[in-house]
Amino acid sequence: MLDQLLPVIFLFCVVIVFGVGMIALTQLAGFKAKKNLVKMMPYESGVPGQEAATTKVSVKFYLTAVSFILFDIEVVFLYPWLLVYSDYIKPHGAFLLGSMGLFVLVLVYGLIYEIKSGALEWD
């Protein structure tokens, strides 16, 4: 068992050491610019900003974005399943159709819950 996991553990260690090493090298050898307050000011389209730089964004925006990502990932899972399903329909057809049906059922339940809770309504 350890013989099979040894390459994975070694690769994991190499990735961690490489990542930490790259971050350390950028901190040591990287360019350190002086902070200039004029350059740090928000500026858009030739007009200096009138509001604070920490403008709050509505939570509805984030809910809609997360919902979009969730249902976009659903399509990402459904499309390859659709392509592979025709090859495996004879030996494992009922199991594959049932598992994907359960997957779609959970996502449709989530969509109905989202609609009923008003997460998709903009006031």
Q: State pLDDT tens for residues 49-78.
A: 666 656 677 777 888 888 888 888 888 888
pLDDT for 74 equals 82
Evaluate whether 59 touches 122 at the Cβ level (below 8 Å).
Answer: no
The burial class, CB within 10 Å (0-12 / 13-18 / 19+), for 107 is middle
pTM of the model: 0.48
- CA 8 – CA 21 distance, rounded (Å): 20
Dihedral over Cα of 104, 109, 111, 112: its sign: positive
| Structure letter (DSSP) for residue 48 | E
Q: What is the pLDDT of residues 63-119, one digit of tens each?
A: 888 888 888 888 888 888 878 777 777 677 778 788 888 988 988 898 898 889 887
